[in-house]
Structure 1
Amino acid sequence: MAFIKPSPLSLLTPLLFILSSLLPAHSVEFEVGDKDGWRIPSSKTDDFYNEWASKQRFQVNDTVRFVYKKDSVLVVNDTEYRKCHSVQPIFFSNNGDTEYTLDRPGLFYFISGVSGHCERGQKMIVKVLEPHGEPSPPAGGSGASKAGMIGASLIVSQIVIALLGFFFS
């Protein structure tokens, strides 16, 4: 029985695929409402922003960007979202160009802070998906995890270079 020796490229391709899956994914910035921005919806539906959000795929560390004039953005809990009123929002901004990082999986509730705007549909729920197959981040904060990812990236790069040298020398 003859043994077929696999080519170096046929061995390298699956290995590169596996190693590339270890690298961190890039975050995405979403402009809320696309060209309409963050304002009272002109459509007849109160769910304009929720419909927009339902068409997006939000991941941990993505950002949502709110562009608006003479308005504000509040991150609130689900009760305050339903009431369209917040006394102590989780986050508040009124600078006209607000970016908010979705730092965990789960639901985020956004409303306008201008009286009457939320009731007229200027509100949104964003669902952030669980990272696929990733463990929960360590309690030490993002600095430790960034350093770990940089180290992992360097190790992966060195392995790839070594393998390329081995197979093509």
Structure 2
Amino acid sequence: MSSRYGLIGCLIVVLALLESATAATQYTVGDGFGWAVPPNNSTNFYDDWVSNKTFQIGDSIIFNWTGEHTATEVPKEYYDNCTKLGIILTTPGVMVTFNENGTHYYLCSISTHCEQGQKVKIVIGDGISDTGSASSLVAGALSLLLSTLVFQFLALLCLN
């Protein structure tokens, strides 16, 4: 009877480990301030906001705003120059989920909001897109191997 409780306990631990390993984080851009022209024309407001965050594959960001704003995804050159051409998200509360490593640039395309600091750079993982590359296949294979070894080790512990 006690071995059954031990097995159940081990399964609970394994499930908890799996949940924590796959949990994605949801960020609200600008936290409580939201997506708006930064106070006092602080052009580094959103740089400061991302500075203590580590974005990973599976994480998402939400752009919340009131008033007239957009969240426009643009290439780096457009971001640097506040060129307002790109994929425009016009509905507040829109969520963007990241499915691969890379760097994403967003700005507000309304008036001079970008020039006043309403822009943010989001770096996912190492910031380098690796879609279809050999390195992502190797990383996936190593992850699978490591997961298999961990599960076998835990199974041995739970069954003994």
**TM-score, length basis structure 1:** 0.64
What is residue 24 of structure 2 aligned with on the other side?
27
Shift of 1:159: 8.1
**Aligned residue type for 1:136:** S
SS at match of 1:74: strand
Shift of 1:72: 0.8
- Of 115, 120, 125, the residue aligned with 1:119 is 115
SS at match of 1:92: strand
SS at match of 1:116: coil
Q: Taking every aligned residue pair, what percent have the same amino acid on both sides?
A: 23
Q: Deviations over 1:4-35 (max 9, x none)?
A: xxxxx9xxx9xx88xx57x8521100111111
1:106 is the counterpart of 2:115: no
CA RMSD in angstroms, aligned pairs only: 3.4
1:48 is the counterpart of 2:50: no
Write out aligned runs for 1:128-147 (5 A): 128-130=124-126, 136=136
Aligned length: 132
- Of 83, 86, 89, the residue aligned with 2:84 is 86
Larger Rg: 1
In 2: Cα distance, 1:62 partner to 1:104 partner = 10
What is residue 76 of structure 1 aligned with on the other side?
74
In 1: Cα distance, 2:137 partner to 2:104 partner = 19
SS at match of 2:95: strand
In 1: Cα distance, 2:54 partner to 2:101 partner = 12
**TM-score, length basis structure 2:** 0.68
Write out aligned runs for 1:141-156 (5 A): 156=151
Higher helix proportion (structure 1 or 2):
2
In 2: Cα distance, 1:43 partner to 1:25 partner = 39
In 2: Cα distance, 1:32 partner to 1:43 partner = 18
In 2: Cα distance, 1:118 partner to 1:161 partner = 54
Maintained 8 Å contact 2:42/2:116: no
Maintained 8 Å contact 1:50/1:124: yes
In 1: Cα distance, 2:38 partner to 2:84 partner = 20
**Aligned residue type for 2:53:** Q
